[in-house]
Amino acid sequence: MLHILHIDASARPGIAGTDHHGSHSRQLSHHFVSQWQQHSPQDAVTYRDIGQHPPSFISHDWVASAFTPEEQRDPWMKQALKESDALVDELIASDIVVIGTPLYNFGMPAALKAWVDQIVRAERTVGVDKNSPHDPYIPKLNDRERHAVVLAARGGTNMAPGEEMAHMNHLEPHLASALEFVGITRIHTIAIEGQEVGGEVLAGSIASARHQVERLVKELQVALNSSTEPA
């Protein structure tokens, strides 16, 4: 049985196509999970709606606690890291993390950045080799095959890598850097574009993105089921 961690980061609570002013990124992430469960109902799903229930921002107490060795932490330090520990545990348990997120002002929503800050944890998701002067960081989530599926929604168009407006899109590159830093290097990105344009541009992008989601679900199910079958 595989484990999916499903995260939605949009400030819009509804789903586009169903709810007035609904979220396009939520539409894609829910489409991915529903397609997955349709073919593999035995797999587990953990859901986090950080768009409606944002993680806490890191604080002085968080930093002091996270960089104190576990065996030396006072009770208040353990309490300061309680939320982070829960989010890290969910990530470690997952085989696939599905992130539905809009592009807000060139980057990720504050709620998603807060989640990133909570899960990039010294000695939990990243180790440090103090004897290595060049690249001392050791990702800890590369112990087994994990995938990240980033399902984005952008107001503009032509923002994919290599396209003319890519320089204004720091969402996927930032998120990829954070995930790769902790050891999740198999990253798949699909996006809906053209919300500000609307009409046929948006409709075509939605149809294309949903088709890509369906194809990715099939590809990942074949790949992951093959990798988990006993030799």
pLDDT in tens, 88-122: 999 999 999 999 999 999 999 999 999 999 999 99
Q: Are 49 and 115 in contact (CB under 8 A)?
A: no
Percent of the chain with pLDDT over 90: 88
Instruction: State the Cα–Cα distance between residues 184 and 182, nearest whole angstrom.
Output: 6
Distances (CA, A) of 228 to 89, 139, 156, 224: 21, 22, 40, 6
Instruction: State the Cα–Cα distance between residues 30 and 66, nearest whole angstrom.
Output: 33
**Among 2-11, 111-120, 167-176, 218-227, which is the least confidently predicted range?**
218-227
Can you give the pLDDT at residue 17?
86
User: Could you give the 3-state DSSP secondary structure of residue 213?
Assistant: helix
Q: What is the mean pLDDT of residues 3-30?
A: 95
Q: Has residue 219 got a pLDDT over 50? A: yes
CATH of the domain at 104: 3.40.50.360
10 is in an annotated binding site: yes
The dihedral built from the CA positions of residue 223, 226, 228 and 231, taken in this order, carries a sign that is negative
Can you give the pLDDT at residue 231?
43
pTM: 0.94
- Closest by alpha carbon to 206, among 154, 161, 165, 149? 154
229: confidence class by pLDDT, cuts 50, 70, 90: low
- Residue 97 structural domain: 3-228
Structure tokens given for 228: 């988990």
25 is in an annotated binding site: yes
84 is in an annotated binding site: no
State the total domains in the chain.
1
Can you give the pLDDT at residue 26?
97
Can you give the pLDDT at residue 113?
98
Q: Has residue 192 got a pLDDT over 70? A: yes
Can you give the pLDDT at residue 130?
82
SS3 content of the chain, % helix, strand, coil (to 5): 45, 20, 40
> Within a 13 Å sphere around the CA of 93, how many CA atoms are in the beta-carbon half?
16
59 is in an annotated binding site: no
